[in-house]
Amino acid sequence: MRIEAVNDFVIRFANVNGTGSASANNMFSKAVFRMGVPVSPKNIFPSNIQGLPTWFEVRVTEKGYLGSRGDVDFVVAINGQTMKKDYDTLMPGGYFLFDSTKALPRDFQRDDIIEIGIPLTQMCIDNYSNPRQRQLFKNIIYVGALAYLFDMELEVLTGMVKDQFAKKEKLIAPNIGALELGYNYAKEHYPDTCGLKVQRRDNVGESIIIDGNSAAGLGAIYGGATFVGWYPITPSTSVVEAFEKYAKKYRVDAETGQNNFAILQAEDELSAIGMAIGANWNGARAFTATSGPGVSLMSEFLGLAYFAEIPVVLMDIQRSGPSTGMPTRTQQSDIISAAYASHGDTKQVLLIPCDPAECFEMSAQAFDLADRLQTPVILMSDLDLGMNDHMSRPFKWDDERKYDRGKVLTADDLDKMTERWGRYKDVDGDGIGYRTYPGTHPTKGSYFTRGSSHDEYAAYTEDSSVYEDNMQRLVLKWETAKGVVPKPQIKYRDKNSKVAAIFYGTSAQASYEALDGLEAEGTKINTCRIKSFPFHEDIKSFIEEHDTIFVIEQNRDAQMRTLLLNEFNTGTEKLRSILNIDGMPIRARRIKRKIERMLSGEKVNPFTTARSAQEEVEA
Amino acid sequence: MSYLRSSFRHPQAKKNKLGYTQANYEGALSTLCAGCGHDSISNSIINACFELSLEPHKIAKMSGIGCSSKTPAYFLSNSHGFNSVHGRMPSVTTGANMANRDLTYIGVSGDGDTASIGMGQFMHLVRRNLNMVYIVMNNGVYGLTKGQDSATADLGSASKKGVPNMYEPMDLCELAISLGSGYVARSFSGDKDQLVPLIQGAIKHNGFALIDCISPCVTFNNNPQSTKSYEWVRDHKEATGTFDLVPFEQEIQVQSPDANKETITLHDGSVINLHRQPESLDITCRESVLSALEEAKQNKHVLTGLLHLNTDSKNTHEIINTSQRPLNSMKEEDLCPGSDLLEALNQSLR
């Protein structure tokens, strides 16, 4: 029995990295999108430049489920190193496209799948003489074959080739030639073979396709960031690369040719955030981007910015930890280390986007919040969101929007002031004092910024009560923060239901899909998507309203659950974890199966990941 | 430390071009030990800024952690100050400078703050040639933690504890010269006549300027076995020549002709007059300076004065082509590309 589906399947490309496969696979994915069918591509790549296995998974999803589904219906197996595994893990009834220049080894003996052999290497040898072309066009040929097998519009693909090589015209004809080679081979040898189809729809609307890091970099441009200090680390590097790309496009003064921005590659992460803090202290909006190991290194400075009350924006593109972990695999495992980053009593504001549109919006908003609250704001993205293309709402910007620079005194304000100004004096009752930028006024408004204990006037103090008052004022400021950070997204499928789920960031899409599936079977589960820390009071009432709450996240230690318990001091019995730590995006099918079993009263281990699912132990 | 400072100021105290007296450049009362070399350096900073008629609020005072890093509280109270974290003053100053290139940045650090915990940041700061003055108050010892050797302590030198240092010292001037700094000086906190013009020259220099200032720690490292004691430094210092700085705006006095005078014009038109003996060091040549420093070291001499000057270098902003307008003065209209461009971008992503 072959799998049959229209606009609803998962295809996985197994390639060797450094062979140009990524752009061909992206072309396939974008072609599906341009046929009006929602698509979700995921690049699963090694921490390596050339020669190791890499996979590219494309989910074709008419209903617009953009999370990872789980299971593979069609595999394009171009990598000899992983071919056996790719063969064995294919769903029964699935399709196995391979390079038939060489016959399949003898131990490839499944009779429940459909094998599609295309002599890619031989076709390249026959048609191209240049070795690099032989390698690159192999990828384009299989894309052409897929177009036939899935009954796609070949013109969409040829149109993309024309767009892509608009500036290198002589590459257009050979690329189209390669597409046709594959298309015609499949047409001749595999008519009516494939039960998976891509048919034109009108389901993507206004959507765009972009990766979260580009969106975050663009958000920083729109949010008015002028300076970046950074240190390269996967998967955050492309945030700064995007910022630079857009800055060169939008921020070079037409008359002088000079930059209305500055970017410095620092010597390490300590320096990167130190620079960003220095610039913010001096009144420019500045940020840095990093991943887990960088957050560890930046913790000391995050404490300084917290205590000396200096705005700074940090973008943490999380990856698998601990330590170096799996640098090119995703996770949501910096939640606690970011929320309480630094020694002493510290709490940091977190923003948690779930798609590129939110990466853009929250990145821009982070600068307003940091200035308003005079404290670090950390954007908690991850590798899946940051480095994969995602279909997303388009970006929007209101031209009337003004940057909220928070409480900053001008020379005029200082001149008009009758009472004595104190940098850390809480005159408004919200825990936030008034800042001055260096150089504002010849005789007023100067103060000494320090990470040592200080009084309302920024003077050093070791007076216990003055220290304590200052620390308690920071708690009041934290309360103020709760009112200005993004509220959670709460959805009731059934007001009377006592079952709920809490999730955040990239766990959201797969969770919504799993819960839709359960709802179709009659189980209605209310949801709360957390978008920020400090937690909004609505989250507490949401927990109180329900008896069983699944907390779905991508780390081993249930970090968000821990944070919820710690902050609200309630829910220990109700909050039940569903966890994923294999470095792949959490999959909808597995969440659904896990919840079904938990709801049926089974005692199951909370991990949805491959190994623990197979060897599940009673938990 | 003292607990009281006289509020008396001379009624006819000299005023500078801004109409300020030296009192306008003072800071809070120092809490360092009586006789600490650092206080003399603070006074030299006050003096240098007063004489150059700098507007105090256009100066930013930056520091790390340690005794030295406390001193920005003791000078220029009308300037913003930033006492950052240990060894990280370079990065904070870099960011601050990127935000506003129009201020004067005076960084103060110690030998622990610079040569140990902050060595990485220090070296990269020099490489980038950030436009700032970097003063190391160098006493060869950790004061606040009570007397451990620092990385600039000379081999065999002993602090109050009496145990000779077993490791080779870092020479910050040699490092800065080899990393391309165009203004490198060594001085002594007890020699104000030399230090004040050196600070003035450093302020006027376009790019990174280092002053490694030996500044004895009277409490932990001023004993006869220490090579950072007042006595030892006084007995062993040797100047490369004398030096004066004529700010751009100031009328140049007609002086008696001086065959040994060499005049170097700085970025803003100010002039440095170097007075040196015919056979002495050519401070514009890196190689000869580095070998002179090594030679002095072998002879147990401390070579002081302006050690290296190269006015032909680009500062960080010039290297990366930043706008002349300070970045922190830019508003929405300068920074936000607006909704039309965003919609065009959306279109390209479909």
Question: Using one digit for the tens of pLDDT, what is the confidence trace for A555-576?
Answer: 999 999 999 999 999 999 999 9
Looking at the fold, whether A219 and A101 belong to one and the same domain comes out as no
Q: Which amino acid is at B325?
A: R
Output the pLDDT for position A587: 93
How distant, in Å, are the alpha carbons of A40, A59, A255, B150 from that of A56? 10, 10, 44, 54
Three-class secondary structure of residue B305 per DSSP: strand
Are the beta carbons of B150 and B112 closer than 8 angstroms?
Answer: yes
The rounded distance, in Å, linking the Cα atoms of A416 and A410 is 10
Which of A141, A164, A197 is the endpoint of a domain?
A197
Question: Using one digit for the tens of pLDDT, what is the confidence trace for A171-200?
Answer: 999 999 999 999 999 999 999 999 999 999
Residue A259 maps to which CATH number?
3.40.50.970
Three-class secondary structure of residue B188 per DSSP: strand
- B-chain residue closest to A253, CA distance: B323
- Cβ partners under 8 Å of residue B44, min gap 6: B189, B192, B195, B196, B199
Q: Do A258 and B102 touch (CB under 8 A)?
A: no
Q: Tokens for A423?
A: 């940098």
Looking at the fold, whether A230 and A258 belong to one and the same domain comes out as yes
Looking at the fold, whether A236 and A321 belong to one and the same domain comes out as yes
Residue A101 maps to which CATH number?
3.40.920.10
A452 neighbourhood in chain B, CB within 8 Å: 83
Q: Do A264 and B80 touch (CB under 8 A)?
A: no
Residue range B325-342: mean pLDDT, rounded: 98
Q: At what angle do helices A212-222 and A237-250 cross, to 10 degrees?
A: 50
CA angle B108, B114, B118 (to 5 degrees): 120
Q: Which amino acid is at A201?
A: R
B331 neighbourhood in chain A, CB within 8 Å: 403
Dump strand ranges (E) for chain B.
Answer: 59-63, 80-83, 104-110, 132-138, 141-142, 148-149, 183-188, 208-214, 237-239, 242-246, 261-265, 271-275, 302-309
Output the pLDDT for position B253: 44
DSSP assigned state of A169: G
Of A222, A283, A450, the CB nearest to B99: A283
Looking at the fold, whether A169 and A256 belong to one and the same domain comes out as no
| CA-CA-CA-CA dihedral for B56, B57, B59, B60, to nearest 10 | 130
How many residues can be counted in chain B?
Answer: 350
DSSP assigned state of A79: -
How distant, in Å, are the alpha carbons of A70, A71, A605, A612 from that of A589? 6, 8, 16, 15
Asked, for residue A482, whether it belongs to a domain, the answer is no
Quickly state the pLDDT bin for B254 (edges 50, 70, 90): very low
Longest dimension (CA), chain A: 90
B58 neighbourhood in chain A, CB within 8 Å: 439
Chain A closest-CA separation from residue B73 CA (Å):
7
Output the pLDDT for position A20: 85
Question: Using one digit for the tens of pLDDT, what is the confidence trace for B93-145?
Answer: 999 999 999 999 999 999 999 999 999 999 999 999 999 999 999 999 999 99
Asked, for residue A204, whether it belongs to a domain, the answer is no
Tell me which of B85, B101, B343 to substitute to probe the interface with A (most A C-beta atoms closer than 10 Å). Answer: B85
The rounded distance, in Å, linking the Cα atoms of B240 and B245 is 16
Looking at the fold, whether A174 and A229 belong to one and the same domain comes out as no
Residue A495 maps to which CATH number?
3.40.50.920
User: Closest Cα to residue A15, out of A53, A43, A48, A42?
Assistant: A53
Looking at the fold, whether A314 and A388 belong to one and the same domain comes out as yes
Output the pLDDT for position A443: 94
Q: Do A227 and B95 touch (CB under 8 A)?
A: yes
Count of CB atoms situated within 10 Å of the CB of B12:
7
Q: Do A209 and B321 touch (CB under 8 A)?
A: no
Looking at the fold, whether A382 and A441 belong to one and the same domain comes out as no
Output the pLDDT for position B250: 53
Asked, for residue A479, whether it belongs to a domain, the answer is no
Asked, for residue A397, whether it belongs to a domain, the answer is no
Quickly state the pLDDT bin for B249 (edges 50, 70, 90): low
Q: Do A275 and B92 touch (CB under 8 A)?
A: yes
How many residues can be counted in chain A?
Answer: 619
Beta bridge pairs of residue A77:
A14, A98
Distance of alpha carbon A271 from the chain centroid: 25
Output the pLDDT for position B242: 76
Question: Using one digit for the tens of pLDDT, what is the confidence trace for B36-76?
Answer: 999 999 999 999 999 999 999 999 999 999 999 999 999 99
Looking at the fold, whether A168 and A311 belong to one and the same domain comes out as no
Helix H or strand E segment including A609:
none
Quickly state the pLDDT bin for B251 (edges 50, 70, 90): very low
User: Closest Cα to residue B2, out of B41, B39, B45?
Assistant: B39
Q: Do A279 and B82 touch (CB under 8 A)?
A: no
Q: Do A251 and B98 touch (CB under 8 A)?
A: no
Question: Using one digit for the tens of pLDDT, what is the confidence trace for A514-543?
Answer: 999 999 999 999 999 999 999 999 999 999
Looking at the fold, whether A136 and A219 belong to one and the same domain comes out as no
| CA-CA-CA-CA dihedral for A424, A428, A430, A431, to nearest 10 | 10
DSSP, residue by residue, A516-555: HHHHHTT---EEEEE-EESPPHHHHHHHHH-SEEEEEESS
Tell me which of B24, B31, B129, B346 to substitute to probe the interface with A (most A C-beta atoms closer than 10 Å). Answer: B346
Q: At what angle do helices A154-164 and A131-149 cross, to 10 degrees?
A: 150
Q: Which domains does chain B have, with CATH numbers?
A: 22-320 (3.40.50.970)
A245 neighbourhood in chain B, CB within 8 Å: none
- A-chain residue closest to B345, CA distance: A395
Asked, for residue A100, whether it belongs to a domain, the answer is yes
Q: At what angle do helices A212-222 and A356-373 cross, to 10 degrees?
A: 40
How distant, in Å, are the alpha carbons of A222, A274, A306, A510, A529 from that of A348? 23, 17, 8, 27, 19
Chain A closest-CA separation from residue B121 CA (Å):
7
Of B57, B58, B327, the CB nearest to A284: B327
B81 neighbourhood in chain A, CB within 8 Å: 446-449
- Cβ partners under 8 Å of residue A514, min gap 6: A588, A589, A591, A592, A595
Asked, for residue A317, whether it belongs to a domain, the answer is yes
> What is the b/e burial string over A295-311, where b = at least 16 CB atoms within 10 angstroms of the residue's CB?
bbbbbbbbbbbbbbbbb
Count of CB atoms situated within 10 Å of the CB of A531:
22
Question: Using one digit for the tens of pLDDT, what is the confidence trace for A229-256?
Answer: 999 999 999 999 999 999 999 999 999 9
Q: Which amino acid is at A528?
A: C
Question: Using one digit for the tens of pLDDT, what is the confidence trace for A12-37?
Answer: 999 998 888 988 999 999 999 999 99
Place of tokens 């000391």: A300
pLDDT means over runs of 10, chain A (619 residues): 96 91 93 96 88 93 93 95 94 97 94 97 94 91 97 95 90 94 97 97 96 98 98 97 98 97 98 98 98 98 98 98 96 98 98 98 98 98 97 97 98 96 98 98 96 97 98 98 98 97 97 97 98 97 97 98 96 95 93 94 85 54
Of B58, B327, B331, the CB nearest to A227: B327
Q: Do A259 and B322 touch (CB under 8 A)?
A: yes
- B-chain residue closest to A302, CA distance: B85
Of A267, A401, A439, the CB nearest to B58: A439
Are the beta carbons of B184 and B176 closer than 8 angstroms?
Answer: yes
Question: Using one digit for the tens of pLDDT, what is the confidence trace for B149-185?
Answer: 999 999 999 999 899 999 999 999 999 999 999 999 9
Handedness of CA A364, A365, A366, A371 (dihedral sign): positive
Q: Tokens for A180?
A: 């046709």
User: Closest Cα to residue A58, out of A45, A43, A36?
Assistant: A43
The rounded distance, in Å, linking the Cα atoms of A612 and A211 is 30
User: Closest Cα to residue A481, out of A576, A599, A590, A347?
Assistant: A347
The rounded distance, in Å, linking the Cα atoms of A591 and A580 is 9
Instruction: Give the helix, strand, coil percentages of chain B, each rounded to 5.
Output: 35, 20, 45
Reduce the secondary structure of A423-481 to three states and give it as a string: CCCCCCCCCCCCECCCCCCCCCCCCEEECCCECCCCCECCCHHHHHHHHHHHHHHHHHH
The rounded distance, in Å, linking the Cα atoms of B137 and B216 is 9
- B-chain residue closest to A405, CA distance: B331
Residues of the domain holding A159: 5-197
Query: Count of domains in chain A?
Result: 4
The rounded distance, in Å, linking the Cα atoms of A8 and B324 is 55
Output the pLDDT for position B252: 40
Chain B closest-CA separation from residue A237 CA (Å):
19
Which of A333, A358, A392 is the endpoint of a domain?
A392
Output the pLDDT for position B191: 92
Which of A331, A362, A392 is the endpoint of a domain?
A392
Of A210, A221, A277, the CB nearest to B337: A221
Q: Which amino acid is at B18?
A: L
Looking at the fold, whether A361 and A507 belong to one and the same domain comes out as no
Beta bridge pairs of residue B243:
B274
Asked, for residue A404, whether it belongs to a domain, the answer is no
DSSP assigned state of B24: G
Tell me which of A226, A253, A447 to substitute to probe the interface with B (most B C-beta atoms closer than 10 Å). Answer: A226
A276 neighbourhood in chain B, CB within 8 Å: 95
Place of tokens 């001499």: B301
Looking at the fold, whether A182 and A220 belong to one and the same domain comes out as no
Count Cβ atoms within 10 A of the Cβ of residue B255 and give its class: 0-12 exposed, 13-18 middle, 19 or more buried.
exposed
In this structure, are strands A349-351 and A548-553 parallel, antiparallel, or unpaired? Answer: unpaired
Q: Tokens for B112?
A: 């622990």
Are the beta carbons of B155 and B169 closer than 8 angstroms?
Answer: yes
Output the pLDDT for position B244: 75
Q: Do A278 and B99 touch (CB under 8 A)?
A: yes
Looking at the fold, whether A295 and A388 belong to one and the same domain comes out as yes
- The side-by-side arrangement of strands in the sheet containing B242-246 is B242-246, B271-275, B261-265
How distant, in Å, are the alpha carbons of A274, A340, B117, B178 from that of A300? 10, 11, 13, 31
Asked, for residue A619, whether it belongs to a domain, the answer is no
A281 neighbourhood in chain B, CB within 8 Å: 82, 92, 95-96, 99
Of B96, B320, B336, the CB nearest to A282: B96
